[in-house]
Amino acid sequence: MSAFNPAVSAEQLRGWDNAHVWHPFTAMSAYVDEHAPIIADADGFDLIDVDGRKYLDGISSLWCNVHGHRVPEIDGAVRAQLNRVGHSTMLGLSSEVSIRLAKALVDITPGNLTKVFYSDSGATAVEVALKLAYQYHQQKPAADSARDTFISVGNAYHGDTLGSVSVGSMDVFHRTYRNLLFPTVSVPSPVATRVPDGYDRDSWLQFCFDRATELITENHRRAAGFVIEPLVQGAAGILVHPNGYLKHIRQLCSQFQIPLIADEVAVGFGRTGTMFACEQEAVLPDLMCVAKGITGGYLPLAATLATDEIYEAFLGAPDAGCTFFHGHTYTGNPLGCAAALASLQRFQQHNLLDHVNAVAGLITERLGQLANHRHVGEIRQKGIMVGIELVHDKQTMDPFAATLRVGHQVTVAARRRGLIIRPLGDVVVLMPAPAMPFLLIQKMCDTTIEAIEEVVCQLE
């Protein structure tokens, strides 16, 4: 049967899926037996599979959907752009819609960021930032070729390309590629879910602050940049940093003239309660990476924003070799830019940030009944980013055996109840679209609690 035949059955599609599609971050040996939903349609905040079953999108299609699916204003903006031009290169040319979006981004991001370099994913936005920071030191007025090392936070995740993996430190994702990576310096992640012997929560967090000071001071002469996920380390399990840590890093970077790279890919566009996480501590980064929610979750688009100071180091004569030789075929794609402009308009028209903060309070309230659950080690939340860590023993924080795949079992139980969520190990992640209405937020929380109860009861 041809792939172009519209009358293909769900059974045939599943057969082709298992035979030909290699899914990201997926244990394929298990996937082929799990009958995961094959999504064919969407309606508002629901996804609909080929059999017509509806699922509430509890992870906003991997943390990128903002306003729901099939939003008339965004659909209309993309259709209107299709009637003009679907794509044209930005290598030596520009496009109307990419210019408009650049101006809109500069207007809403921290005030020192004035230049926009487009790419197409969070990882590529980080790659751009790393290369910009490195080349900046070679070309700034007091050129410094010794600046060849990046500093990042332990348990960091910044994407899957080799540069972004190099500044990451999640062993489960990165260990295979260790010999391909450039060396970096890692400061301890300032979280106290589990603390080493000899520390309590407060003394461990103080150690993390102090150790960051020590490592930055020791390495400042060779530091090309400090890369950080502001406020929340998403892929590490929704690890929420203590108040003041981001500002502490900003002050150290300013003291030693180290560019601060804010990876706002996961936390940007309202997820933490402000448009960008850096706003909450009045931090001005030197480079900022945005993606995921930039188009409302419609199309692949990313941007790296930079200061005038960094940009001006690339302004030598054409034959001087100062050009930033980096770019992607679909950089600044007009369809993505049109979707992004429409999405940003909805933020203003619907007071979406106010809604996010109200929703965050509702999530806290609804999940409060898990606070003393025997198998819930910790509930971590910042805005509408939530991680529920499931453990074998709440008192000792001993984990479940990895072979049990408890987090995965919870997502399967939730799926049977019409909710799509995804775990990070045994951390169950909830990441609703910022615009999800209150009744659906309640459904998401209540269904998650039911799924957790079902799975842990079977294990006892």
What's the rounded Cα separation, in Å, for the pair 166 and 181?
5
* pLDDT (0 to 100) of residue 417: 98
* pLDDT (0 to 100) of residue 459: 87
Percent of the chain at pLDDT above 70?
100
Per-residue pLDDT tens over the stretch 148-173? 999 999 999 999 999 999 999 998 88
Per-residue pLDDT tens over the stretch 388-417? 999 999 999 999 999 999 999 999 999 999
Average pLDDT over residues 434-439: 98
Q: 1-10, 376-385, 429-438: which has the minimum mean pLDDT? A: 1-10
Q: Residue 283: how many CA atoms within 13 Å on its side-chain side? A: 32
Where residue 1 falls among pLDDT bands split at 50, 70, 90?
A: low
Where residue 307 falls among pLDDT bands split at 50, 70, 90?
A: very high
pLDDT at 438 over 90: yes
- What's the angle, vertex CA 83, arms to CA 78 and CA 84, rounded to 5? 100
State the CATH architecture for 37-67+351-459.
Answer: Alpha-Beta Complex (3.90)
What's the rounded Cα separation, in Å, for the pair 297 and 105?
16
Average pLDDT over residues 322-326: 96
Average pLDDT over residues 100-107: 98
What's the rounded Cα separation, in Å, for the pair 203 and 105?
39
Average pLDDT, the chain: 96
Per-residue pLDDT tens over the stretch 82-96? 999 999 999 999 999
CATH 3.40.640.10 fits 75-349, yes or no: yes
Q: Are domains 37-67+351-459 and 75-349 of this chain identical in fold? A: no
* pLDDT (0 to 100) of residue 260: 98
Q: In 3D, which of 190, 188, 186, 189 has the Cα closest to residue 151?
A: 186
* pLDDT (0 to 100) of residue 174: 87
pLDDT at 3 over 90: no
Residue-range domain boundaries for the chain: 37-67+351-459, 75-349
Task: Return the sign of the alpha-carbon dihedral for residues 225, 230, 232, 234.
Answer: negative
Higher-scoring residue by pLDDT: 107, 8:
107
Q: Residue 410: how many CA atoms within 13 Å on its side-chain side? A: 30
Where residue 2 falls among pLDDT bands split at 50, 70, 90?
A: confident
